[in-house]
Amino acid sequence: MHGDLAIKEKLIVAITGASGSIYAIRLLEQLKAYDVEVHVIMSKSAKLTLKYEMTCDARDVEALADVIHANSDIGASIASGSFRNRGMIIAPCSMKTLAEIASGVTGSLISRSADVTVKERRPLILLTRETPLNLIHIKNMKTATEAGAIIFPPVPAFYNKPASLEEMVDYTILRVLDLLGYHADTEKRWTGEKPGA
């Protein structure tokens, strides 16, 4: 019977051209620990930013995915509300992509998939990267939030005394995955205990 068939959970990860390629890479690496099929979309700008910021290229990032979609393929499976999935993460999320989501003008698979995620009431997490913010950015964040998206600027925490950039990034990814119900055991979580107590 169809109702008894086990369907592997799916998750959409999109990568835009904002600075912060490391967040996408660490997200995809950490998702390997979970039984989830990861669908990845990269914009052209994301591929360029990756070259500037990291020592890997788009093929290395795509190798971490289960399924790869071209950003121009607006007819892809993930562009439909009938595509069952856990949600979508855009890491990093450019202000251009945020504007497309907030306006509902979806000219790419990334923004179309985000629009579908919102209309289907699934979690949409946006790791927005820009500073300082102008009023247009803030209004777009407000609109996206009111529509159901979660604005998650990758702001580092310091109470856990990170020893490296990687630890700061990993803590952000831990918090993002928590929002989707993927909980990792880690000593880096806040326990309320003060140093020396």
Residue 112 maps to which CATH number? 3.40.50.1950
Q: What mean pLDDT comes out for the span 175-188?
A: 86
184 found inside a domain: no
The pLDDT of residue 194 is above 70: no
185 found inside a domain: no
Q: What mean pLDDT comes out for the span 11-21?
A: 97
Model pLDDT for residues 135-160, shown as the tens digit of each residue: 999 999 999 999 999 999 999 989 88
Number of separate domains in the chain: 1
144 found inside a domain: yes
142 found inside a domain: yes
Q: How far is CA 131 from CA 18, 30, 40, 100, 180, in A?
A: 11, 27, 26, 19, 26
61: containing domain: 7-179
- The rounded distance, in Å, linking the Cα atoms of 111 and 96 is 10
Model pLDDT for residues 71-95, shown as the tens digit of each residue: 999 999 999 999 999 999 999 999 9
196 found inside a domain: no
2 found inside a domain: no
Q: How far is CA 1 from CA 5, 138, 145, 148, 168, in A?
A: 7, 49, 39, 34, 46
- The rounded distance, in Å, linking the Cα atoms of 79 and 115 is 9
The proportion of the chain whose per-residue pLDDT surpasses 70, expressed as a percent, equals 94
123 found inside a domain: yes
194 found inside a domain: no
Closest CA to 40 of 70, 77, 9: 70
Which pLDDT value is given to residue 197? Answer: 53
Closest CA to 153 of 125, 188, 180, 115: 125
